[in-house]
A and B are shown apart, each in its own frame.
Chain A
Amino acid sequence: KNEVEQSPQNLTAQEGEFITINCSYSVGISALHWLQQHPGGGIVSLFMLSSGKKKHGRLIATINIQEKHSSLHITASHPRDSAVYICAATTGNQFYFGTGTSLTVIP
């Protein structure tokens, strides 16, 4: 069993929809990262959080330490949000990656 589980694996949404991607982890962590990998292959760090909630534009990330769960929300989704979203938990010196959620937003 993977230390980090993401759901769903694949997600198709209509433009404008509210999207939620979930990440559960089984290890004690110092931080939780959300990464975005574009269709062209480039990887961008979206958020790093250890508690509470962070917001950047239309993206919101939350984490519940007690439940060992994090969510990434995208409001008013747009086709340019189409990408693979990867959750990664770190204990400082160790990284555990989810298998990614492939998101396709249809115009």
Chain B
Amino acid sequence: DTAVSQTPKYLVTQMGNDKSIKCEQNLGHDTMYWYKQDSKKFLKIMFSYNNKELIINETVPNRFSPKSPDKAHLNLHINSLELGDSAVYFCASSQGPGSEQYFGPGTRLTVT
């Protein structure tokens, strides 16, 4: 069984659209994360939730909004997509903040 899953795996969409990426973990972890990996392969944290509460909110455009309906899910909604949003987005979870993380397979977003 997959520990951290993301859907979709690939997402191609046009500028201006709104899209969501879903993340689910079945590890019973309290903390979940969203990362963005750009074309230069640099990994950058975007958000972190602990027990459904936002604890890390890096400087990202407010077009990006995380939603955590429960501890096992952390979805990422992106409004008014721009070309620069094209990247691979990784979800991860850990037992607690700063603990060892388990990563999802990534979602490759392409904005045309």
> A residues near B, CB below 8 A?
30-31, 33, 35, 37, 41-45, 48, 84, 86, 88, 90-95, 97, 99-100
Secondary structure class of chain B's binding surface, majority of residues: strand
Q: Which of B80-104 contact A (CB under 8 A)?
A: 88, 90, 92, 97-103
**CA A54 – CA B92 in complex, angstroms?**
22
Instruction: Annotate B3-20 by CB proximity to A: 1 below 8 A, 0 otherwise.
Output: 000000000000000000
B105, A93: Cβ atoms closer than 8 Å: no
The CA of A42 and the CA of B102, in the complex, are separated in Å by: 11
- B41 lies within 8 A of A84 (CB): yes
The verdict on B43 contacting chain A, using a C-beta distance below 8 Å, is yes
B98 touches A97 (CB 8 A): no
Bound Cα distance from A44 to B90, whole angstroms: 12
Q: What residues of B have a CB within 8 angstroms of the CB of A33 in the complex?
A: 100-101
Separation of A88 and B41 alpha carbons in the complex (Å): 14
B90 interface neighbour in A43, A88, A100, Cβ under 8 Å: A43
> Please, which residue of chain B has its CB at the minimum distance from the CB of A30?
B98
Chain B residues whose CB sits within 8 angstroms of the CB of A91 once the complex forms: 98
Q: Is the CB of A97 within 8 A of B100?
A: no
Q: Which A residues touch B92, using CB under 8 A?
A: 43
Contacts of A37 in B (CB 8 A): 41
Residue among B42, B43, B48 with the most chain A CB within 10 A? Answer: B43
A58: shortest Cβ distance to chain B, in Å? 19
Residue in contact with A45 in the complex, picked from B43, B48, B97, B100, CB distance below 8 Å: B100
